[in-house]
């Protein structure tokens, strides 16, 4: 009986405590009631939130560790490049007063510059931009240790804005070149260099886009296939590496798109796929040897599709081929669309042009071509790209940097010649060309070359090439008004 009363008392006591607690909770403000309930009912959600937070922290720490590891591995191979050049200062002189003030020419002045570079071989070869070292008299390289050493230029390639310089030593830390073809938009990359003179600066970003053509290299005539990145690139970064999270160089930082002159989140790097052949060629021979196709190419556009009756939406359209040149000898015809070269997809003419230029003369390319809906496989053996080879695309180009037109009766009368029946009229001269340096002028008439009549551009070009191959100079007989001159074109 006592046990029954004891049990009943405990039950009544527990019920009373429960009622009291319920009353206390109900008497609290609404917000506190919710907190009190939440403390009991949201424990699983809190556990999940904590789990997500821990996972995020772990991911962020892993990414941070990757950045740190790559930076520590690559910074010893990244250098600052200090350039010095002496140039003629130019004074601004009012027109008509040049004779009184020396034609506006001032004294000599020193120009200094700063860029970046990356050591790519243990024997001191450094890859950088051509615009970093072009026109310099003296080069100094500052290593990651802070030590400065002199450097020399091994070779440059203005058409890609790349250059190789070298420092003494055979045991330098160096960076491994990666595969820019494999990197994908959205992947993390690091840019390392000396922005504004701040050596060994590391910035992070992603690959924002690929295959950008900006028309900034070689005055728009160079080879471009830029990687775009939002990793901060500023003046002084030029020539420094863009690296992936495996510590491989996938690009050489070259330019930015900016209105202020500083980083605006749009930077461009020359891809390693374009740089590697240039590096190898310069180191092995001191110059760049490029393949030559001998074809005029353009993108596949709606207008081109209508003109040629194309059956594909992308690729590189062959608009014309030069007779007896690699494209024609390999079977390419106007209207063909190149879809693949050596198993690489070709989406536009820039990709074809860049790939051909990256191959050495004599390379055999396997091309997949669409010809009015029919797929063909062609083998094309490349020639060598040269000034003379490129001149063949311009009917009047002499190969010496001058455009020429055969003299006709009407032109002869306009120039004041009554009994002149043959010759080549100079209509245009490239700045800095052989023609300009030799003293040719627009309006001159070339009447003879190496003792034979200059009655066609082909005759003149072949005569000059023959003497050039023999290591000799060519002699041109030129009429300038009533004066007959002898001009020497040296090889």
Dihedral of the alpha carbons of 189, 192, 196, 198, in degrees to the nearest 10 = 130
Whether the Cβ atoms of residue 149 and residue 143 lie closer than 8 Å to each other: yes
Q: Is 34 tagged catalytic?
A: no
Distance CA 31, CA 157 (A): 72
Q: Is 131 tagged catalytic?
A: yes
Q: Extract the tokens encoding 188.
A: 């993390």
Distance CA 63, CA 85 (A): 43
The one catalytic residue among 116, 180, 208, 238:
238
DSSP 54-109: HHHHHHHHHHHHHHHHHHHHHGGGEEEEEEEEEEEEE----TT-TTTTGGGEEEEE
Distances (CA, A) of 203 to 82, 182, 193, 224: 21, 22, 9, 24
The one catalytic residue among 80, 82, 116, 131:
131
DSSP state of 390: H
Q: How large is the C-alpha radius of gyration of the chain? A: 35
Whether the Cβ atoms of residue 247 and residue 118 lie closer than 8 Å to each other: no
Q: Is 152 tagged catalytic?
A: no
Sign of CA dihedral 30, 35, 41, 45: positive
The one catalytic residue among 161, 336, 397, 403:
161
Q: How many CB atoms lie within 10 A of CB 296?
A: 15
Q: Cite the active site residues.
A: 131, 161, 238
């Amino acid at each position: 009986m006592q046990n029954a009363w004891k049990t009943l008392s405990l039950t009544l006591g527990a019920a009373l405590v429960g009622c009291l607690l319920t009353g206390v909770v109900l008497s609290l403000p609404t917000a506190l009631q919710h907190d009190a309930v939440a403390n009991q009912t949201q424990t699983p959600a809190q556990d999940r939130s904590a789990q997500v937070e821990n996972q995020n922290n772990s991911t962020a720490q892993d990414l941070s560790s990757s950045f740190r590891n790559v930076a520590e591995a690559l910074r010893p191979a990244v250098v600052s490049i200090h350039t010095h050049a002496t140039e003629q200062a130019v004074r601004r002189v009012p027109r008509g007063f040049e004779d009184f003030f020396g034609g506006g020419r001032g004294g000599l002045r020193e120009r200094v510059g700063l860029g970046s570079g990356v050591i790519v071989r243990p024997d001191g070869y450094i890859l950088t931009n051509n615009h970093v070292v072009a026109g310099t008299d003296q080069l100094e390289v500052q290593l990651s240790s802070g030590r400065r050493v002199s450097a020399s230029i091994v070779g440059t390639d203005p058409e890609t804005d790349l250059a190789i310089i070298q420092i003494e030593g055979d045991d330098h830390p160096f960076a491994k070149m990666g595969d820019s073809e494999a990197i994908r938009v959205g992947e993390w990359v690091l840019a390392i260099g000396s922005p504004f003179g701040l050596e060994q600066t590391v910035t992070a970003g992603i690959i924002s886009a690929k295959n950008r053509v900006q028309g900034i290299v070689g005055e728009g005539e160079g080879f471009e296939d830029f990687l775009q990145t939002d990793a901060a690139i500023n003046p002084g970064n030029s020539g420094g590496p863009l690296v992936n999270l495996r510590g491989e160089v996938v690009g050489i930082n070259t330019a930015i798109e900016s209105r202020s002159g500083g980083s605006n989140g749009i930077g461009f790097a020359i891809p390693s796929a374009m740089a590697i052949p240039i590096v190898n060629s310069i180191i092995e021979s001191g110059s760049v040897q490029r393949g030559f196709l001998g074809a005029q190419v353009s993108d596949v556009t709606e207008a081109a599709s209508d003109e040629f009756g194309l059956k594909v939406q992308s690729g590189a359209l062959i608009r014309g081929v030069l007779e007896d040149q690699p494209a024609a000898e390999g079977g390419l015809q106007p209207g063909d669309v190149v879809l693949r070269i050596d198993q690489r997809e070709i989406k536009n003419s820039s990709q074809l042009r860049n790939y051909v230029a990256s191959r050495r003369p004599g390379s055999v390319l396997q091309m997949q071509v669409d010809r009015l809906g029919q797929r063909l496989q062609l083998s094309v053996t490349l020639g060598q790209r040269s000034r003379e080879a490129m001149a063949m695309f311009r009917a009047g180009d002499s190969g010496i940097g001058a455009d020429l037109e055969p003299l006709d009766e009407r032109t002869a009368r306009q120039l004041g010649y009554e009994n002149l029946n043959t010759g080549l009229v100079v209509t245009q001269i490239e700045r800095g060309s052989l023609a300009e340096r030799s003293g040719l002028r627009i309006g001159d008439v070339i009447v003879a070359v190496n003792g034979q009549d200059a009655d066609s551009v082909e005759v003149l070009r072949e005569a000059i090439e023959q003497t050039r191959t023999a290591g000799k100079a060519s002699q041109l007989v030129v009429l300038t008004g009533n004066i007959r001159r002898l001009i020497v074109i040296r090889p």
